[in-house]
Structure 1
């Protein structure tokens, strides 16, 4: 796979992971705890979990091709657990 395609795939995973995290935090969790509707957390939580794993694996996948320093890799991984973090990585490092 070419570097451009790798970046494109990781960019999409990053965006989708960021969106799923925000939906989980600001839509699904309030529905669960304020309106007693836990179904949304189950669905969005599963999707977010899969995308989270794909994002972290993607960060390791992009480490060498983009010549990231270890510090950049650590920042990318830490940003996976911060709201809006994946958007920062996608914007700054891709």
Structure 2
């Protein structure tokens, strides 16, 4: 469960970096290299977060409802932070 909390913060941070730094640099300053670096990192962390989330349902008793909320939260900027604070800290 500790690993899931840690990965949720990393995943949320990578999404924010991608959306608020890398994409604007690509679109406004014609610097696509940042997206090509941060994009795959975020993709890997997104997949890892959701795999750990599904494993936590069977191993740590996280409810399916909370897992679904976690998945949706991983799609929204700042969602992973809120999910960790409101739900993961209860387990």
* TM-score under structure 1 length normalisation: 0.88
Separation in 1, partners of 2:42, 2:10 = 8
Q: 1:69: Cα distance to partner? A: 2.2
24-33 or 60-69: bigger deviation:
60-69
Report the equivalent of 2:35: 41
Q: Number of residues paired by the alignment?
A: 88
CA RMSD of aligned residues (A): 1.0
* TM-score under structure 2 length normalisation: 0.91
Q: 1:10: Cα distance to partner? A: 0.8
Tell me the SS of whatever aligns to 1:64: helix
Report the equivalent of 1:89: 83
Return the match for 1:75 from 69, 80, 85: 69
The reply on whether 1:8 has 2:8 as its aligned counterpart is no
Tell me the SS of whatever aligns to 1:88: helix
Runs of 4+ in 1 over 6 A off after TM superposition: none
Return the match for 1:28 from 22, 25, 29: 22
Q: 1:68: Cα distance to partner? A: 2.4
Tell me the SS of whatever aligns to 2:37: helix
* Structure 1 gap ranges (5+): 1-6
